Amino acid sequence: MPYLQIAPHSINLYYEDHGHLDSYPLILIHPIGGNVLIWEYEISLLLKNGFRIIAYEIRGHHRTNMGKSNAYAMQDLADDLGALLTHLDIRRCTIIGHSIGGIIGSIYAAQNPEKVDGLVLINSSPKKFQDFDLEKHFKTRAIAITRGIEALAEHKLKSFDEFKDLAKEKRYSDFFKNVFTKTSVGGFVAATVALYSIPEDAARKLRMSGCRVLAIVGSDDSAFIRLSKETKEMMPEMELKVIEGSDHWVIIEKPKEMYDILMGFLGKIIGVSKS
Amino acid sequence: MPYLQIAPHSINLYYEDHGHLDSYPLILIHPIGGNVLIWEYEISLLLKNGFRIIAYEIRGHHRTNMGKSNAYAMQDLADDLGALLTHLDIRRCTIIGHSIGGIIGSIYAAQNPEKVDGLVLINSSPKKFQDFDLEKHFKTRAIAITRGIEALAEHKLKSFDEFKDLAKEKRYSDFFKNVFTKTSVGGFVAATVALYSIPEDAARKLRMSGCRVLAIVGSDDSAFIRLSKETKEMMPEMELKVIEGSDHWVIIEKPKEMYDILMGFLGKIIGVSKS
């Protein structure tokens, strides 16, 4: 599987490029603590529907290194996405991003309206967080730094706010642990700090871009339920779909429901009907 | 000179502790790219006036390492200050902070009102930055990462916005380069990213704390002139002193003027008259 070298920063960005080069490209961007493995189900289903699928890993996550940067702002992650799309000569696409992945997609789409037809925000939003949304990461960073990424995965599964649905089934929690523990401590720390640097005007610029936006959010993910509703007020054209009985890790918990909603949206964007 | 080990994070925090243990303590916190050397003039003058002076270096700056954290939020830097004051058993003090140093002091004072009598903000403010205030660091971080800290010092001296007063005199620019180039690239990158994480309510909480606040700002430092005026509107009790013909590096450019203002404020706080 290939890597894109982003030379000045010594970053080797891992990506996968599936399907035909002349098919419509979907770009998948994972959440903090995720990586390409998290999209396993979506990749196989979307490929059957004739899409080209490009999935990559953000800095410090699984096979992509941190490079020389020990910290980064959201804009740096959006620039990495831009470098990948330029490298692959992708001129138009739809971006599907989970959590930080959707934020990266929002920033990129707002800055490159000619390149992005559609944006799917999965438990994500272009709106800045409130301070209290990010305060849980004082603790998660301390656990990662002092006790390691496995201890953090265990802690997360026990913290009831974000994981009460995920922790219900062992196959979900095992899958989560397998994916999450491939994240480097440095990648986790840098990415959670980067969440402070979401541009203030990202939502306004995204609306102005004319990009079609779908937000999918788990009913039990309180922060993103609030942010998604606030985003919907600012961008009434945005479709908002709430998946009941799911929390932040809706991709793992409700793949079928998510897939159906996704295909409905993609059908409207590029005229592909669900097969 | 001693180090405080902040064990879980493997940080060795460098600090100096001058003067008598029973004298009133002043805590000096340097700006990004600074370190204890920048206070040379102030330390000698304040010592003559009978203060105890504690000056330390923030993570990734000169003699303080980054530890295991490759990135950090402002709250982590405020926690480091708290660890140092606890270690030294400082029960009441006045904090003098330049730029990020004043932000660290603001957060700490707001959270520990019983410990901080006074706060001097030198080209600093407890208010969150606007995105455009921080966008210059997309470039400064890229220069540091790709070309090194010396190249960044040269770039800064040539960038007219922040350095037009400093660059006028070779002794100032030489002093700046000597101090600045002791910063690690990692420390510079992490600190500039941390600026996004200033708590939204820091100014309000600081006002509620009852801590006396003096802001000193160079007339040509446009970002901090604006932020200081906005802070003054929120905290009318705050004293605001503008030093004409100076920019962000007022400590280097106008030490005498700054010292006079500082002594006037300290005299009011602890009844020490200027000698």
Question: Would you list the DSSP string of chain A?
Answer: --EEEEGGGTEEEEEEEES-TTSPEEEEEPPTT--GGGGHHHHHHHHHTT-EEEEE--TTBTTS--TT-SS--HHHHHHHHHHHHHHTT--SEEEEEETHHHHHHHHHHHH-TTTEEEEEEES--SSPPPHHHHTHHHHHHHHHHHH-HHHHHHHHHH-HHHHTTGGGSHHHHHHHHHHHTTB-HHHHHHHHHHGGG--TTHHHHHHHHT-EEEEEEETT-HHHHHHHHHHHHH-TTSEEEEETT--TTHHHH-HHHHHHHHHHHHHHHH-PPP-
Q: CB-based contacts of A16: which residues, under 8 Å, 6+ apart? A: A1, A36, A43, A53, A54, A55, A56
Residues of chain B with C-beta less than 8 angstroms from the C-beta of A138 = 73, 75-76
What CATH number does domain B3-274 carry, 3.40.50.1820, 3.40.50.10860, 3.40.47.10, 3.30.70.940? 3.40.50.1820
| Cβ–Cβ below 8 Å for A8 and B200 | no
Give the long-range contacts of residues B43-50, CB within 8 A, separation 24 or more. Answer: B43/B16, B43/B18, B45/B259, B47/B18, B47/B19, B48/B275, B49/B263, B49/B266, B49/B272, B49/B274, B49/B275, B50/B19, B50/B20, B50/B23, B50/B24, B50/B272, B50/B275
Cβ <8 Å between A196 and B196: yes
Q: How far is B271 from chain A (nearest CA, A)?
A: 38
Task: Express each pLDDT in A34-74 by its tens digit.
Answer: 999 999 988 999 999 999 999 999 999 999 999 988 899 99
Chain B CB contacts of A190 under 8 Å are: 70-71
Partner A contacted by B244 (CB < 8 A): no
Neighbours of B159 (CB within 10 A): 14
Burial class (CB in 10 A: 0-12, 13-18, 19+), A274: exposed
Instruction: List, in order, residues 6 or more apart from A235 with CB less than 8 Å away.
Output: A203, A206, A207, A213
> CB of A204 within 8 Å of any CB in chain B?
no
* Of residues B33, B16, B6, B75, the one with CA closest to residue B175: B33
pLDDT at A109 over 90: yes
Q: Give the closest of B71, B137, B142 to A70, CB-based.
A: B71
pTM of the complete model: 0.90
Dig out the tokens for B5 from the structure: 């080990």
Residue among A16, A25, A29, A84 nearest A50 (CA): A25
Asked if A8 lies within 8 A of B146 by C-beta distance, the reply is yes
Any B CB within 8 A of A146 CB? yes
pLDDT confidence band for A163 (50 / 70 / 90) = low
3-state SS, residue B28: strand
Q: Do A70 and B201 touch (CB under 8 A)?
A: no
What is the spatial distance between Cα A71 and Cα A34, in angstroms, rounded to a whole number? 18
CB B214 within 8 Å of CB B265: yes
Note whether A146 contacts B75, CB cutoff 8 Å: no
Which of the residues B79, B188, B193 would you substitute to probe the A interface, choosing the one with the greatest number of A C-beta atoms within 10 Å?
Answer: B193
The ipTM, to two decimals, is: 0.84
Mutation test of the interface with chain B: which of A131, A193, A200, choosing the one with the most B Cβ atoms within 10 A? A193
* Strand order through the sheet with B3-6: B3-6, B11-18, B52-56, B25-29, B93-98, B116-122, B212-218, B239-243
pLDDT digits (tens, 9 = 90+) for B247-264: 888 888 888 888 899 999
User: Do the beta carbons of residue B106 and residue B205 sit within 8 Å?
Assistant: no
Pairwise CA distance, residues A184 & A144, whole Å: 9
Contact A186, A70 (CB under 8 A): yes
Tens of pLDDT, residues A207-264: 999 999 999 999 988 899 999 999 999 999 999 999 998 888 888 888 888 889 999 9
- What's the CA gap between B125 and B105, in Å, rounded? 10
Q: What is the pLDDT of residue B39?
A: 93
Query: Which residues in chain B come in under a pLDDT of 70?
Result: 1, 160-164, 271-275
Chain B: give the shortest CA distance to residue A143, in Å: 10
Write down the pLDDT at residue B162: 62
- Is residue B18 helix, strand or coil? strand
Q: Flag whether residue A189 sits within 8 Å of chain B, measured between CB atoms.
A: yes
The mean per-residue pLDDT over the stretch A144-162 comes to: 87
Amino acid A246: pLDDT: 85
Count CB neighbours of A44 within 10 A.
11
Min distance A237 CA to chain B CA atoms (Å): 26
The pLDDT score that the predictor gives to residue A272 is: 43
CA distance linking residue B152 with residue B134, whole number of Å = 16
The two structure tokens encoding residue B82? 């708290």
Contacts of A75 in chain B (CB under 8 A): 138
CB A123 within 8 A of CB A224: yes
